[in-house]
Structures are given as C-alpha cells and as structure tokens.
C-alpha cells in the first residue's frame, strides 16, 4: 500500500500512531519510502505530488535545472564563492569577488536564476556611480566579467540550461575616458623626485621605477625574495604576491643591486620596505620636486605611474617586444603597448629619422663569385618579372636578399629576432632580460642621496 501509518508502543503497552509514510517508485523504478505528515489527507496529497513528480522526471519533462531554478539565488552565490575558495583564490580577490556578487544580486534584483538577464546586468552597470560621478567603463566591466563568470560556473555544474548572458558585451574602454589615466615620469622629473624626497621614500620610488613592481607586490616583498648572490641576481615573486597568481622572476638593475648589497639584510621573513608611500605623501614629494601630480593632459603621476615609467623606459630601450613583454610581466602585449608605454614626439621623431625611402647601395647583397655587387638590377615593379599576385608575397624576401635596389616602403623583411622571437622559437630567458637592465639601456638618473 503506497500510504501507510506507523505506530509506536507506549509504556503502558498501547500502540499509538505517530505519522504517515508513503512508498513510491523513483525514476529508476525502485521503491522509495518517504516520511509525510500526521494528517492522512495532507499526507495523501503530498504523496500524490511526489509520485507525479517522479513520473514527469522519468518522462524527461522535469529536469535538474528546474530544481536549481527554484532555489534562492543566495544559495547559488554561496556555492560559487565556496568554489572560488577551493580554487585557492587569494584572500583579497576572494573578498572582492564575493562583494561584487552580493552587489550584483542586490542591485540587479536577482531572486532566482531566471532573473539573471542581459537587461538586469546592463541596467545595473549603467547606473553605477563612484563618488557621485558615473563609473568608468573599466569599473563597470569588472561587474560584467564577474556576472558572466558566475553564469559559466552555473552552466558547468548543470544548474542552468543556457548562457543567459551570452549576448552581454563589455564596454569599449578606449572610447571612454579613464578617470585615473596615468603617465610616465620623464628624465628630469625622475631626477628631481629621487633627489628631493627623503632618503627612505626616494629609495622606494627608485626601486619601483627600476623594477615595475605594483604597490602590493612591493609592500609584500621580503628579503628572502631577493636572490642577490645568484649568478644573475633577481627578485623571486611569490604566487600570492602577484595579480596573475603565478610565480615570476624580475632581474635586478645594477643600480639597485649595488644599493641592496650595501644594506644590512633583514631576517628571511622581514619585509624590504617598512611602508609604501600613499598618494598624499607622494603628492607632497612631487610638489617639493616641482613635478605636477596631474599634467596638462589630465594624466596622473601616482604610485602606479612608477610602473608606467618602468614600462616606458623598457620599451624605449628594447626593440624586441617579446623581451619587453616578459620584463614588464604583461600577459597581453596590447596592454603594454596601448596603456603602459607612453611615447611622445621625441620618440616618434627619432623613429622617423630612421625611415629610408631608398636602400643604400652598400646594403645591396653581393652576387656572383667575384664578391662585387650587380648594378642596375632595377625595381621589382620596374622589371615586371613577377605576376601581380606574387608582389606582396615576394617583396619582403626580395628586399632581404638584395634583389631590390629600391624596395617598396613598408614591405621590407623583418628578422624573427626583431619581431620578438628567437630563431629557435623559445621565449626570452632570464639572462636575456638581465641584459636590458643595465645602466646603458635603461636610462635612469643616479640620485645624489645615498641610502645606507
């Protein structure tokens, strides 16, 4: 009998009912027992619902996704945060991720999974404001990224049937003004800042501008992270220090190495810097050095601008962009080129001076067996020896082998090494990067203040 009652024996020997139970067949055809209520009518109604649900599941009408759809969104968010914690996400990123999700749920009006729509996210991010002003595109994109990551997590675990935010696009950050757009300090500005700031802070500024470390990375830097006695001295950054979460190595500039060797090192767990100057302190030091905190273009010179300064110096001194990318520790070369490397008119004018319309005669490759050059070879188009379809494919090779007396502008062959790839196909190693950090390559003024 699907519905039955159970009894318990009292001390006086009497049997009294203490509830109704039901039996039903699950989706696998197996009998299951379920505890119901004390009232028979309510128990029968509930058992009928369970049997109906089992039949619908067997027929494929009801799915697991429907079960998850009934759960409160807060339960899914709690499971998502727990999953991030299991992935060994560092404490700061975990805290920010959890805070971002809670804000999405609250201001997006999410109660169930069905509430996660493109309109709900767009309405939320478009209304974001920071200190009374509309939020930047970069700030709003962080919420869009987190929302889409949450939906992908739901999909991976079978809690959602379709990607409800698939058509949600990030904002184009290039078309929106960056509120905290930074600049690189020029030679005179770097010299003035390092020479006028107090010795302890000047040392921090110089270290940041010659390593490119981020504020948090420098704040967590310990003496045992410095490999001063290695054949090629470097900084070993720990995974928990770094934004990417991967261990990285940064070769030490010769100026920094000399000063570090002159210091008395702290204990292995001791931090290299007591503190990193805040914005107000840096602003005071810049004012004393007569350097503008915000220039005429609205670009800031805050602590993170020290990293911009380092990236700009590296790009000016190193034409191999693969090495520059590894030294500045940017996964996306476009971020380095479009945001961190600041090139002015002096840089472009220097490059313009190297542009040549005609290949020098001395650069024409020798031909034959006598070692002499062959004159009057003519231009590729002038001789008309190649079909039009072969022109673009052949121009680079012809220019590289001396077949062009007058190669076409912009079609000269570029060696692999110049493009950032070695002939062996390997990425740049620490010895390669170490060569960039010599005084002759990275021009940095030597401060008059000696740090003991």
Question: Does residue 416 register a pLDDT over 80?
Answer: no
Q: In this structure, are 56 and 74 located in the same domain?
A: no
Average pLDDT of the residues in 224-234 = 92
Average pLDDT of the residues in 258-279 = 89
Which pLDDT band, with edges at 50, 70 and 90, does 452 fall under? very low
Q: In this structure, are 313 and 210 located in the same domain?
A: yes
CA distances from 359 to 98, 348, 362, 391 (A): 60, 21, 8, 18
Structural domain contains residue 212: yes
Structural domain contains residue 30: yes
Structural domain contains residue 152: yes
Q: In this structure, are 313 and 267 located in the same domain?
A: yes
Residue 37 belongs to domain spanning = 3-62
Q: In this structure, are 15 and 139 located in the same domain?
A: no
The model's pTM is 0.54
Q: Cα separation of 58 and 77, whole Å?
A: 30
Instruction: Give residue 12's pLDDT.
Output: 85
The three-class DSSP label of residue 8 is strand
Q: In this structure, are 228 and 313 located in the same domain?
A: yes
- CATH number at 270 reads 1.10.443.10
Query: Which token pair is 107?
Result: 């201001």
Q: In what order do the strands lie in the sheet with 226-227?
A: 226-227, 234-237, 248-251
In this structure, of 61-65, 170-174, 193-197, the range with the lowest mean pLDDT score is 61-65
Question: Does residue 392 register a pLDDT over 50?
Answer: no
Greater model confidence, 308 or 178: 308
Q: In this structure, are 194 and 170 located in the same domain?
A: no
Q: In this structure, are 322 and 197 located in the same domain?
A: yes
Average pLDDT of the residues in 355-359 = 73
The three-class DSSP label of residue 362 is helix
- Mapping DSSP onto H, E and C, the string for 242-292 reads CCCCCCEEEECCHHHHHHHHHCCCCCCCCECCCCCCCHHHHHHHHHHCCCC
Structural domain contains residue 394: no
Q: In this structure, are 169 and 200 located in the same domain?
A: no
End-to-end CA distance of the chain: give it in Å, rounded: 90
Q: In this structure, are 208 and 323 located in the same domain?
A: yes
Structural domain contains residue 238: yes
441: closest CA among 344, 320, 305? 320
73 CB-near residues (< 8 Å, 6+ apart): 105, 110, 111, 112, 113, 115, 116
Average pLDDT of the residues in 324-332 = 89
Count how many domains the chain has: 3
Q: In this structure, are 203 and 345 located in the same domain?
A: yes
Half-sphere exposure of 215 (CA within 13 A, CB side): 10
Q: Cα separation of 123 and 168, whole Å?
A: 12
Which pLDDT band, with edges at 50, 70 and 90, does 271 fall under? very high
Q: In this structure, are 222 and 324 located in the same domain?
A: yes
Of 307, 328, 349, which residue sits at a domain end? 349
- CATH number at 112 reads 1.10.150
| 100-130 pLDDT, tens digit each | 999 999 989 999 888 999 999 999 898 888 7
Q: In this structure, are 154 and 124 located in the same domain?
A: yes
Instruction: Give residue 331's pLDDT.
Output: 84
Structural domain contains residue 292: yes
């Amino acid at each position: 009998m699907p519905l039955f009652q159970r009894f318990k024996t009292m001390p006086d020997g009497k049997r009294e009912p203490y509830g109704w139970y039901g039996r039903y067949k699950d989706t696998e055809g197996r009998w299951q027992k379920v505890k119901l209520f004390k009232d028979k009518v309510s128990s029968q109604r509930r058992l009928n619902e369970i049997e109906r649900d089992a039949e619908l599941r067997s027929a494929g009408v009801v799915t697991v996704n429907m079960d998850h759809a009934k759960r409160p969104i807060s339960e899914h968010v709690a499971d998502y945060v727990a999953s991030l914690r299991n992935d060994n996400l560092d404490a700061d990123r975990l805290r920010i991720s959890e805070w971002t999700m809670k804000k999405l749920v609250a201001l997006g009006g999410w109660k169930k999974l069905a509430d996660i729509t493109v309109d709900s996210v767009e309405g939320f991010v478009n209304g974001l404001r920071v200190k009374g002003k509309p939020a930047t595109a970069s700030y709003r994109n962080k919420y869009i990224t987190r929302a889409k990551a949450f939906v992908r997590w739901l999909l991976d675990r079978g809690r959602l049937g379709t990607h409800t935010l698939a058509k949600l696009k990030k904002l184009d950050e290039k078309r929106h003004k960056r509120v905290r757009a930074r600049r690189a300090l020029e030679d005179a500005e770097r010299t003035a800042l390092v020479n006028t700031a107090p010795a302890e802070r000047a040392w921090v500024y110089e270290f940041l501008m010659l390593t490119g470390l981020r504020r948090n990375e420098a704040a967590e830097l310990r003496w045992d992270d410095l490999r001063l006695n290695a054949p090629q001295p470097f900084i070993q950054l720990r995974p928990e220090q770094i934004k990417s979460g991967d261990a990285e190595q940064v070769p030490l500039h010769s100026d920094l190495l000399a000063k570090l060797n002159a210091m008395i090192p702290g204990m292995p767990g001791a931090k290299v810097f007591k503190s990193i100057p805040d914005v107000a302190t840096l602003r005071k030091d810049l004012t004393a050095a007569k350097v503008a905190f915000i220039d005429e273009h609205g670009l800031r010179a805050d602590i993170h601008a020290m990293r911009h300064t380092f990236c700009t110096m590296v790009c000016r001194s190193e034409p191999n962009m693969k090495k520059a990318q590894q030294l500045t520790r940017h996964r996306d070369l476009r971020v380095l080129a479009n945001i961190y490397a600041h090139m002015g008119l002096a840089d472009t004018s220097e490059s313009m001076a190297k542009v040549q319309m005609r290949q020098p005669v001395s650069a024409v490759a020798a031909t034959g067996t006598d070692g002499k050059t062959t004159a009057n070879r003519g231009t590729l188009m002038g001789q008309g020896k190649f079909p039009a379809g072969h022109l673009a494919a052949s121009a680079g090779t012809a220019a590289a082998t001396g077949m062009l007396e007058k190669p076409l502008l912009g079609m000269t062959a570029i060696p692999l090494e110049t493009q950032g790839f070695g002939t062996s196909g390997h990425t740049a190693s620490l010895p390669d990067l170490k060569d960039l950090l010599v005084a002759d390559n990275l021009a940095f003024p030597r401060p008059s203040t000696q740090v003991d």
